[in-house]
Chains A and B, each alone.
Chain A
Amino acid sequence: MDLAGQLTSYLYQYFDNATFLILAALGLILIYGMMGVINMAHGELMMIGAYVATYSYHAGLPIPLAVLCAGIAAGLAGIVMELLIVRHFYNQLLSSLVVTWGLSLVLSQGALLILGPSTLNMPTPLGSFSVGGFSFGVYRMAMTVVAVLLMAGIWILLRWTRFGNQAQATIENPRMAAALGIDTRWIYTTTFAIGAALGGVAGGMLAMTTAVSPFFGQGYTAVAFITVVLGGGANALVGLAVAAGYLSGVQTLLSVMVNQYLGYVSLFAAAFVALLVMPSGISDFLERRRSRKVQR
């Protein structure tokens, strides 16, 4: 067997799996980190994005624009969701889970009623190349690049903009933020919309790799959920990167050594083990270690 091709294939799978986790979880972890809410309807926002991207693509829009439309549509849906429902459940993890889970059922069943059960498809763009008899999709690698860019974008937004400062202040102490003239409701709504839009973009991009149906989102919600729980809310981006890197490592290893199914199942086992060691998630664990070091 060709060693170079084999190794490339492992790496490719590793990044592909990690990208999948990051795309599915980025919007979710942003919302969780900022507002203590896990949005179980995040997969349905991805589904909305997937449909919008597919329809706009078939209507003749170039792919980047179709993905952009997906983000905008999901962002708008997120605004409506936040204003009508989610706003009443901030920092109530359990209630928010139940309510948004209900919402996800409504959205997927609604899509089934309106759009029907048949699946839609988009071709995967950008073709492929091969190394030593293994074939690799360029588009999948492009998705990895986009995932990294999206994370960098969120980091810049939070760290270097006025909105980011206001948002961080609002997470840490919403009352104090309000007393300084910050419209915390607007911050919450906007953050939720950004998280939703990220879900839409992810859905739009993933639509080019798999069939789109009303239940498109359900495959993602579970993995996004465990990635977020493992990542934790203290420093969402770091948590997400480490969680995705770790989970993808385990998944890739088992997929390669045994089979795809076991690779997928191992995600949950790996998360389980990690959570035994770090019950409140990776970012919280790192945060505490860091502050312990500072104190010394």
Chain B
Amino acid sequence: MMCSKIGLSSVVSGYGRVRIVDGVSTEVAPGEIVAVIGRNGVGKTTLMKTLIGEVPVKSGEIRLNGRDIGGLTAPRRARLGIGYVPQGRGIFSRLSVAANLGLGVGVGDAARSNFDRVFEFFPILEKRLQQPAGSMSGGEQQQLAIARILVGNPQVMLLDEPSEGIQPSIVQEIGRTIRRLRDQQDLTIIIVEQNLSLIQAVADRCLVMDRGRIIAEVRPDALNDPALAKEYLAI
């Protein structure tokens, strides 16, 4: 177990007194891409927010490289190398693309931040640096949100529904980029997704979430079974 990149033991969290994430345990190996799937409102986003530190852990442990980080604030977790791309992208719409990217240096070790790496993966952003980020299309904003994390030096990337509201061709491109990122940057990735083709394009395995718990683990190709897909995905 010591070799897992990020590990959760009986993590419970929620808003106020309500338990939304209700005892999640799992281990994610270095360089693994794990998809978290499940119907609407089962707590997938809340799980991601708990991992980055936006929602406090009520009980249980979150480990990064074996160290419990569950009590740390979000900025400190970011500096340890957790990059978060939230549902809805979290772009600062009034700032320029360049300024948005510049804010990514806080992810991971700032001394190893790198802009060139980003333009290699997302060439369109280089042409848009001075544009207000809010004026870009949804797909471009999604790429910016991922690129922004990458400017820093992340070890773990948390992606919450990157395909939401984006046209299929761009989703495919994002899928290819995610795989390349894992292969070339040694990233460990946890991705919440509903889009079957994106899940199958990137994930090594899928954790199925229901009412705050992980109720099953399946291989991505198992979702080819329409009955299973219908049960596990919100469509």
A interface list, Cβ under 8 A from B: 162, 165-166, 168-169, 172-173, 175-184, 294
CB-based nearest A residue for B52:
A179
Q: Which of B73, B84, B92 contacts A169 (CB 8 A)?
A: B92
What are 30 sample pairs from A and B whose C-beta atoms fall under 8 A apart? A162-B102, A165-B95, A165-B99, A165-B103, A168-B95, A169-B92, A169-B103, A175-B54, A176-B86, A176-B90, A177-B103, A178-B73, A178-B78, A179-B53, A179-B54, A179-B74, A179-B86, A180-B78, A180-B84, A180-B104, A180-B107, A180-B148, A180-B152, A181-B75, A181-B78, A181-B79, A181-B106, A181-B107, A182-B75, A183-B75
Contact size range, B: 20 to 34
Chain A CB within 8 A of B130 CB: no
Collect the chain A residues with CB atoms within 8 Å of residue B54's CB.
Answer: 175, 178-179
Complex: A4 Cα to B169 Cα, angstroms:
70
Complex: A182 Cα to B52 Cα, angstroms:
13
Do A181 and B152 contact each other (CB < 8 Å), given the known contacts A162-B102, A175-B54, A294-B135?
Answer: yes
CB-based nearest B residue for A177:
B103
Complex: A175 Cα to B103 Cα, angstroms:
13
Chain A CB within 8 A of B93 CB: yes
A-contact 0/1 string along B39-66, CB 8 Å cutoff: 0000000000000111000000000000
Chain A CB within 8 A of B94 CB: yes
A-contact 0/1 string along B164-184, CB 8 Å cutoff: 000000000000000000000
Q: Are B102 and A165 in contact (CB under 8 A)?
A: yes
The total of Cβ contacts below 8 Å across the A-B interface reads 63
Q: Are A172 and B94 in contact (CB under 8 A)?
A: yes
**Closest chain B CB from A234 CB (angstroms):** 9
Complex: A175 Cα to B54 Cα, angstroms:
7
**Closest chain A CB from B151 CB (angstroms):** 10
**Closest chain A CB from B95 CB (angstroms):** 6
Collect the chain B residues with CB atoms within 8 Å of residue A180's CB.
Answer: 75, 78, 84, 103-104, 106-107, 148, 152
Complex: A180 Cα to B53 Cα, angstroms:
11
**Closest chain A CB from B131 CB (angstroms):** 12
Complex: A168 Cα to B52 Cα, angstroms:
21
Q: Are B92 and A166 in contact (CB under 8 A)?
A: no
Collect the chain B residues with CB atoms within 8 Å of residue A179's CB.
Answer: 52-54, 74-75, 78, 84, 86, 90
**Closest chain B CB from A231 CB (angstroms):** 17
User: Which residue of A173, A177, A178, A181 has the most chain B CB atoms within 10 A of its CB atom?
Assistant: A181
**Closest chain A CB from B72 CB (angstroms):** 11
CB-based nearest B residue for A179:
B84
